[in-house]
Structure 1
Amino acid sequence: MARPPHAREKALDAYAEILRADGERAATIDAVAARAGVSKGGVLYHFPSKEALAEALLERFHEVSEAELIEMQTDPEGPSRNYVRTSWQTSEEEDPIYRAVLRLAQSSWQPAITAIEQIHKAWGDLVRGEVGDEAIADAIMLIGEGLYYHSAMPGTWTAGTFDHSIDDLLAVVDRLKKHATSSSEPYPWPPSAPPTP
């Protein structure tokens, strides 16, 4: 009997969902099969081990990351504004692959740790290339990371603690960029190709 053509994608999506919700230990082959609505044999046909699931997820992560880097580099507003703007009010639905790989990194799986480090370095390289000032680039990165952390927290405890609009923060980014270009020679922009994650 032929397996459904999208069983592989369903299993991989289910694996990512379990990782995000419950962590790496909960993401067993049995749990993936149950979540995906396919037989255990159907999962094992495509992914003979948990390691194979993790490697396939990392492949998908690299594809998504490459597309995001190109979008960040080619954004008419520049990488700094893109980074801060896309860090605002994120949700599991918007970045499911990143969050799933982050859970793998938190379980000390070295390939996931390396992948997270590489994408953060690539984002930082684009921002540094635009502003030409290490400290200002770090400040812009920290604005984005703080926004991401704030928007990713569960519950409602943060609801009344942050009342700035994204436009307010992008205006801060613009002021930082202006200071960088007035105080030092900017790096050549744009670079010839996006950094490789």
Structure 2
Amino acid sequence: MGRKPTITRGQLLDLAEEIVRTEGAKALTIDALARAAGISKGGVQYSFVSKDDLVRALIERWTSQFDAMLDADETSSATDLIRSYIRAMRASQQAPNAKMAGLMITYLQDPANMQETRDWYQGIFDRIGMASAEAQAARVAFLAVEGLFLLRIVGIDEDGAWTGFLDDIEMVLDRLLGPA
């Protein structure tokens, strides 16, 4: 019977997030995580075989947390889906900085991860639909929020402008489709 792990996979992910937040994506290595956890490199590799595996787990964790905040089901209208998306963006962590973006860029270098990301976005577009005026307005609002997300990565939110821009998107959506 194997030895009981002294640290959980979730605790390792918490520590990995802290390394990326404080030191940047390049600082996240199996060795650095082992040092932060106070365990051997082999102890980390018991949970994450490679750095790619670790990065994939972090991205999956963030995506799952965001999807849980999204709180929209398959039957939601396009407008309800986008309003829920905007609420989830407001509730998500404060401006993901360039350090987190660096990790995402590393993740997207793998063609399988890129395809997974494309599939996630395509799922959103499929749920929004294409033909109706509501779908068009919702799609444009979604694209605007995603543009803000990218601007956030480069530091647009340093003075708190993020929330005001999200307000702008919601106001335009209200003018086009009526208030929620």
Q: Select the structure with the greater relative contact order (CA < 8 A; seq sep ≥ 6).
A: 1
Which residue of structure 2 aligns with residue 170 of structure 1? 170
1:87 aligns to what SS in structure 2? helix
CA distance in 1, matches of 2:137, 2:167: 19
Q: Is the 8 A contact 1:61 1:101 kept in 2?
A: no
CA distance in 2, matches of 1:115, 1:16: 21
Q: 1:66 to 1:169 in 2, by over 3 A?
A: closer
Tell me by how many angstroms 1:65 deviates. Answer: 5.7
The counterpart of 1:78, out of the listed 74, 77, 80, is 80
Q: 1:89 to 1:152 in 2, by over 3 A?
A: farther
**1:2-53 deviation per Cα after TM superposition (whole angstroms, max 9, x unaligned):** 432x432222333344456522x43221011123333323212222322332
Which residue of structure 2 aligns with residue 186 of structure 1? none
Which residue of structure 2 aligns with residue 188 of structure 1? none
Tell me by how many angstroms 1:89 deviates. Answer: 7.3
Tell me by how many angstroms 1:79 deviates. Answer: 0.6
Q: Is the 8 A contact 1:90 1:152 kept in 2?
A: no
TM-score, normalised via structure 1 length: 0.61
Consecutive unaligned residues of structure 2, counting only runs of 5 or more, are none
Richer in helix (by share): 2
1:147 matches 2:158: no
Alpha-carbon RMSD across the aligned residues, in angstroms, is: 3.9
CA distance in 1, matches of 2:155, 2:57: 28
Q: Is the 8 A contact 1:19 1:104 kept in 2?
A: no
Paired residues, what number? Answer: 170
CA distance in 1, matches of 2:19, 2:117: 19
Alignment of 1:85-100 (within 5 A): 85-88=87-90, 90-91=92-93
Alignment of 1:32-47 (within 5 A): 32-47=33-48
CA distance in 1, matches of 2:107, 2:140: 25
Q: Is the 8 A contact 1:89 1:152 kept in 2?
A: no
CA distance in 2, matches of 1:37, 1:161: 39
Which range moved further: 111-120 or 56-65?
A: 56-65
Consecutive unaligned residues of structure 1, counting only runs of 5 or more, are 179-197
CA distance in 2, matches of 1:133, 1:18: 42
TM-score, normalised via structure 2 length: 0.66
Alignment of 1:1-197 (within 5 A): 2-4=4-6, 6-19=7-20, 22-23=24-25, 25-57=26-58, 59-60=60-61, 63-64=64-65, 67-68=68-69, 71-73=71-73, 78-88=80-90, 90-91=92-93, 102-106=104-108, 108-128=109-129, 135-154=136-155, 159=159, 164=164, 166-177=166-177
